[in-house]
């Protein structure tokens, strides 16, 4: 396999996709759900969501657009890092793909919450207090599913960061930042699964390194000042014929 060449245009497109993902994530997670979901108060959360269903749906659309924009980044990273170590590059792409598919499926929880609060059939089937409790459960399950999805993404970031630092085709500091971002996701997700009270204390500070690392990586890609020629194949990464 020959060394791969990633053009400035491809780098810039991937960077723009990454920046869009960051912006859409801030919109959906911080502005929409952060403004409508009141922790520990199912009734108030239900009132806010029912009062602004379009805003709630806009957060869902933003989430789905994030997953669509993941795909060109996954492809670019695979092309870039495949010559460094093909099995690890494929593993990172697969982990990222699992995360993307899982998060897409997980968004159904957000629709379920809205249907419980605004659907006429649900209104006839359940009393208000039950609908509020079920809607809050759906929102909480979405948060749990989000954390599980980011577990796969965290491992992908750690692998990609290590390959970038090892290859020398991008600034090594970007590899280090991406690796630290992955570790931050892993800490947050494992805390969410193993010690929810600790996760509540750590969030959102635990994800600050992830934001810094991914933002720096996205900005470098968007600058697109250099055409990147990946390092030659590492013979140790391929079995002998």
- Domain residue spans in the chain? 5-219
pLDDT tens for the 241 residues of the chain, in order = 344 577 888 889 999 999 999 999 999 999 999 999 999 899 999 999 999 999 999 999 999 999 999 999 999 999 999 999 999 999 999 999 999 999 999 999 999 999 999 987 776 778 889 999 999 999 999 999 999 999 999 999 999 999 999 887 788 999 999 999 999 999 999 999 999 888 888 888 888 999 999 999 999 999 866 655 444 444 444 444 4
Distances (CA, A) of 52 to 3, 15, 56, 147: 52, 32, 6, 25
CB neighbours of 147 closer than 8 A, spacing ≥ 6? 188, 189, 192, 193, 199
Q: Rounded to an integer, what distance in angstroms lies between the CA atom of residue 100 and that of residue 193? A: 19
* Backbone torsions φ then ψ of 93, nearest 5 degrees: -65, -40
pTM: 0.86
Q: Rounded to an integer, what distance in angstroms lies between the CA atom of residue 45 and that of residue 133? A: 10
Q: Rounded to an integer, what distance in angstroms lies between the CA atom of residue 46 and that of residue 200? A: 22
Alpha carbon 138 to chain centroid distance?
19
- Cis peptide preceding 204, ω within 30 of 0: yes
Q: Rounded to an integer, what distance in angstroms lies between the CA atom of residue 77 and that of residue 90? A: 10
CB neighbours of 165 closer than 8 A, spacing ≥ 6? 172, 175, 176, 179
């Amino acid at each position: 396999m020959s060394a791969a060449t990633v053009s400035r245009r491809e780098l810039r497109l991937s960077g723009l996709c990454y920046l869009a993902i960051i912006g859409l994530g801030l919109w959906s997670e911080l502005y929409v759900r952060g403004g409508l979901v009141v922790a520990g108060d199912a009734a108030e959360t239900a009132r806010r969501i029912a009062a602004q269903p379009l805003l709630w749906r806009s957060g869902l659309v933003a989430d789905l657009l994030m997953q669509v924009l993941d795909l060109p980044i996954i492809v670019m990273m695979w092309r870039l890092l495949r010559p460094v170590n093909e099995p690890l590059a494929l593993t990172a792409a697969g982990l990222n793909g699992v995360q993307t598919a899982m998060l897409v499926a997980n968004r159904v929880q957000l629709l379920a919450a809205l249907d419980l609060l605004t659907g006429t059939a649900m209104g006839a089937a359940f009393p208000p207090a039950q609908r509020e409790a079920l809607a809050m459960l759906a929102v909480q399950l979405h948060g749990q599913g989000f954390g599980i999805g980011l577990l796969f993404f965290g491992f992908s970031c750690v692998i990609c960061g290590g390959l970038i630092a090892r290859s020398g085709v991008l600034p090594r500091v970007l590899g280090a930042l991406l690796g630290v971002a992955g570790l931050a996701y892993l800490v947050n997700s494992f805390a969410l699964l193993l010690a929810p009270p600790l996760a509540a204390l750590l969030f959102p500070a635990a994800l600050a390194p992830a934001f810094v690392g991914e933002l720096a990586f996205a900005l470098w890609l968007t600058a697109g000042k250099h055409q990147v020629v990946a390092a030659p194949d590492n013979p140790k990464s391929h079995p002998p014929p």
